[in-house]
Amino acid sequence: MGQFFYENKIKKTSFKIISEGKSDFKKGKVTGKKILIPVGGGKDSAVTLNIFKESNPACFALNPDKVILKMVGKRELIIARRKIEKNLLDMNRKGFYNGHTPFVAYLSFLSILVSYLFNKNYIAFSNEDSANEENVIWQGRKINHQYSKTYEFEKDFRDYCSKYLMDNVEYFSALRMLYELQIGLIFSHMKDYHHIFLSCNEANKTNSGTKKKTGKWCNNCPKCLFTYLILYPFLTKKELLSIFKEDLFENKKLLPILKELTGEKKVKPFECVGTRREVLVALYLGSKKEEKPYMIKYFEKNIFPKYENWEKMASEVMDHWNNKNFIPKEFKL
């Protein structure tokens, strides 16, 4: 709710939810030893699929589009479908308070149901360590757009699930150890996915039901620029253009977004993007390439002089490995 309160400028944020109902619900149990991978169509999903490619995982998708179907390929695919309540869309258009849907939290609960129905005892999400960083601190609280992708949420959800919902189900993130920039490096070698994946949220928005999904990179949002940025050090210009169709580092209109991503502005974009530090490292690594597009020139002139020991910072980011994760011991290296 933090982002909801922040964006709607609601200062009083104390409330209590009391459940007065009673339930005779009994926890479910699965006996299978199979992996279920929720697939969203982005680079992170592709990397997780690649990690478990020899384990014959099943895939799970909510309202899958062509991107997801291509990424899944011939793997087993379990599909769930949902529709947005018409009254909600009407309220949005009338100007009622609106907020961000914690999609991963929604998907987490749904994946538990799917694991029970299809007897899969491993649920492997693709949430990374970068998601733990807040977008802004407001009224003494960390406001994090990606809260439902954090380690904290993952721990709480596992505890809740074990206590109330299911026995013998391992819910975890396969990428919790890594930053987005590290995932970008891994993905840069996965050439078969480069023309399949799509990490632009604008491409999938329907604008309260009035705009159709485009299924293409918009090249104007924080997610597009961030994805371009973390792939830039590891791909050639030709490869980048084949994915994005234009050089985002030459688009001067994106500079305000870059400033938000680097921490030059107070608030990081309310999108699924990486930490400010890894953005700086991505720009530093990108500056070592021969070509000098507008964004790299801006970095070299305005950001590079502000920091010392760039090699140390780059090494710390690229060698990062967070041991605070819930990956089952049978999958650990």
Half-sphere exposure of 247 (CA within 13 A, CB side): 12
Q: Range of 248's domain?
A: 28-327
Q: Please, what is the average pLDDT of the chain? A: 93
Most distant CA atoms of the chain, gap in Å:
66
pLDDT for 208 equals 47
Helix (H, G, I), strand (E, B) or coil at 167: strand
Domain count, the chain: 1
Q: Is 148 among the domain residues?
A: yes
Helix (H, G, I), strand (E, B) or coil at 174: coil
Q: Is 19 among the domain residues?
A: no
Q: Is 5 among the domain residues?
A: no
Q: Is 197 among the domain residues?
A: yes
- CATH label of the domain that carries residue 268: 3.40.50.620
Compute φ and ψ for 170, nearest 5 degrees.
-100, 105
Q: What's the rounded Cα separation, in Å, for the pair 158 and 8?
A: 31
pLDDT for 47 equals 98
Q: What is the pLDDT of residues 152-209, one digit of tens each?
A: 999 999 999 999 999 899 999 999 999 999 999 999 999 999 999 999 988 766 544 4
Pairing of strands 166-167, 28-29: parallel
pLDDT for 101 equals 83
Q: What's the rounded Cα separation, in Å, for the pair 3 and 134?
A: 10
The structure's pTM equals 0.93
Q: Is 99 among the domain residues?
A: yes
Q: Is 1 among the domain residues?
A: no
Looking at the chain, which runs of residues are DSSP E strands? Answer: 28-29, 35-38, 58-62, 77-80, 122-125, 136-138, 141-143, 166-167, 170-173
Per-residue pLDDT of the chain (333 residues; tens, 9 = 90+): 888 888 888 887 677 888 888 878 888 999 989 999 999 999 999 999 999 999 999 999 999 999 999 999 999 999 999 988 889 889 988 988 888 888 999 999 999 999 999 999 999 999 999 999 999 999 888 999 999 999 999 999 999 999 999 989 999 999 999 999 999 999 999 999 999 999 998 876 654 444 556 678 999 999 999 999 999 999 999 999 999 999 999 999 999 999 999 999 999 999 999 999 999 999 999 999 999 999 999 999 999 999 999 999 999 999 999 999 999 999 876
Q: What's the rounded Cα separation, in Å, for the pair 297 and 291?
A: 10
pLDDT for 59 equals 98
Q: What is the pLDDT of residues 247-259, one digit of tens each?
A: 999 999 999 999 9
